[in-house]
Structure 1
Amino acid sequence: MSAKPDLGRFASFGMGITGEEASAIEALGYGAVWVAGSPPAELDWVDRTLEQTRTLKLATGIVNIWTARPETVAASFHRIETAHPGRFLLGVGVGHPEADAQFAKPITALNAYLDVLDKQGVPRERRVLAALGPQVLKLSAQRSAGAHPVLVTPEHTAEARRLIGPDAFLAPAVPVVPTTDVEHARAVGRKTLELYLGLSNYLNNWKRLGFVEEDITRPGSDRLVDSLIVYGTPDTIAARLNEHLEAGADHVPIQLLTSPAKVIPTLADLAGPLGLG
């Protein structure tokens, strides 16, 4: 396998980003920005953002295979690569069976999509798969640079590393609430988890991690929330994020559960404890 993508140790993860925000994140020492949701296949926002930064990389977390045609995605990748070589990582995934009426077996659907990306010349080392369970984790190592799990524990990160091997890229996204108020953090965490507590792929993954029905029944137990949602002082948050690196992650996208106006200041607060500069 080719060298792993180099996105630095930490990144910002959110629903959208302006060029000015990307420039500020780059200046703080973060290596990348992951854009969540299911962006359109044209990916026109990537060009505008990269034009306002020098070294920052962008990744999709994730392009949904049901809503973005692979031929269009491949054309977008090549356009971005021509203008900004090596600065874009294509994250793709199957979404959720409850949300996608056409949902098929993930392995079958992903393989068909990746077949098209192969034919269109999108390099395996420049794409990653959203992956939670063992089969898709293994597929991520076989047919892409690696895996991008969401809402997982360091224990999942360790198991994912075992399954994908040492040479694949592993980038678990971790939600963070920048507060030392436990009840507030749990309330924000539960609001974030509300959707996922109705999605079978996440529920099954949490069961594999040892959570029981009492934990994963809405609104979610304190044990579940505290395991998945990071909060506390900047030093505490940094220590918990580093647990994923210690468990085998290469890179940790940070999903800040706070108001948009507080994202950059919070990333600034975390930069020192995270060893960025």
Structure 2
Amino acid sequence: MTVNLGSIGIWHVRPHLDTALATEAEKLGYGALWLGGSPPADLTAVEELLDATERIAVATGIVNMWQADPVETARSYHRIEAKHPGRFLLGVGVGHREATQEYQKPYDKIVSYLDVLDAEGVPRDALVLAALGPKVLRLSAERTAGAHPYLTTPEHTRRAREILGDGALLAPEQKVVLDPDPERARASARPMVSRYLGLTNYVNNLRRLGWTEADVSDGGSDALVDQLAVHGDAATVARGVRAHLDAGADHVCVQVLPHETDPLPAYRELAEALELTG
């Protein structure tokens, strides 16, 4: 892969993932910014983040294949790559099937979308694919630089590395809450976690990992929420983030919760606990 992500990045959505957060993240030593929330195919938000910074990589987590035209996405990639060579990783994926009425099997949609990106000259080593299950994980290694799993655990990371083998990028997302009070932290995390527990692809993946119907019901069990949104003081959270690296990840995308608050103080505190260097 040509884009240098470092080992720890920030995954966040607009409006908080703005140029102010981008410039501070670069100073703090984070290696990449992951723009969530299904950015549109014009990718102007990516370009703004790159324009405001000097070194940090920017990735999309992810451009949604049901929503973003692949030809326009490819043209946007080439525009950005020409302006900021080697700093942009195009993350793409099908998201969740419930979000679209279009009739096409998700796997077929992924293949056809990647075919268009190939035809439009987007290099495979500048692409990463949202992947959870074994079939799409294998495809990510075959057709792109690797996988960007979302809403997962270190155990999923371990299994994903076995499927991907050596050499393919593995960049899981990890939600965190910097709060030492368990009940308060879970209350902050559960609204975000629970929205995904009504979506088939995420629930199926959690069941493959051994979580039960009780764990994925009613907003998620405490044990499940604790894994999907690691909480505690900065040192505890840092250990939870590093657990993915220990399990075989190359890079971890950290998402601070809740989104209703300014995440920058937490990212500063976590950067110190992770011993990042600006």
Report TM bin, short chain: over 0.9
Task: Report the Cα distance in structure 2 between the residues aligned to 1:214 and 1:261, rounded to whole angstroms.
Answer: 30
**Partner in structure 2 of residue 89 of structure 1:** 89
Task: Report the Cα distance in structure 2 between the residues aligned to 1:93 and 1:146, rounded to whole angstroms.
Answer: 12
1:1-277 alignment, distance < 5 Å: 3=1, 5-16=3-14, 17-102=17-102, 104-259=104-259, 262-277=262-277
Q: Deviations over 1:141-195 (max 9, x none)?
A: 0000000011111000000000011110000000011101100111122111221
Query: Unmatched 5+ residue regions in structure 2?
Result: none
Residue type at the aligned position of 1:89: L
The answer to whether the 8 A contact 1:138-1:164 is kept is yes
The answer to whether the 8 A contact 2:22-2:49 is kept is yes
Q: Deviations over 1:214-235 (max 9, x none)?
A: 1111221111111211110110
Give the number of equivalent residue pairs.
275
Identity across the alignment (%) = 51
Instruction: Indicate how the Cα distance of structure 1 residues 260 and 27 shifts in structure 2: closer, same or farther if over 3 A, else same.
Output: farther
Task: Report the Cα distance in structure 2 between the residues aligned to 1:219 and 1:267, rounded to whole angstroms.
Answer: 26
The answer to whether the 8 A contact 1:4-1:168 is kept is no
Task: Report the Cα distance in structure 1 between the residues aligned to 2:206 and 2:156, rounded to whole angstroms.
Answer: 9
The answer to whether the 8 A contact 1:241-1:252 is kept is yes
The answer to whether the 8 A contact 1:178-1:258 is kept is no
Query: Unmatched 5+ residue regions in structure 1?
Result: none
Aligned partner of residue 89 in structure 1, secondary structure: strand
Residue type at the aligned position of 1:9: S
The answer to whether the 8 A contact 2:35-2:46 is kept is no
The answer to whether the 8 A contact 2:97-2:106 is kept is no
The answer to whether the 8 A contact 1:127-1:145 is kept is yes
Aligned partner of residue 240 in structure 1, secondary structure: helix
Task: Report the Cα distance in structure 2 between the residues aligned to 1:76 and 1:258, rounded to whole angstroms.
Answer: 31
**TM-score for both structures, normalised by structure 1:** 0.96
Residue type at the aligned position of 1:68: A
Supply the RMSD in Å over aligned alpha carbons: 1.2
The answer to whether the 8 A contact 2:146-2:168 is kept is yes
Task: Report the Cα distance in structure 1 between the residues aligned to 2:200 and 2:10, rounded to whole angstroms.
Answer: 27
Give 1:259 shift.
Answer: 4.9
Give 1:64 shift.
Answer: 0.5
Residue type at the aligned position of 1:158: R
The answer to whether the 8 A contact 2:153-2:227 is kept is yes
Instruction: Indicate how the Cα distance of structure 1 residues 43 and 211 shifts in structure 2: closer, same or farther if over 3 A, else same.
Output: same
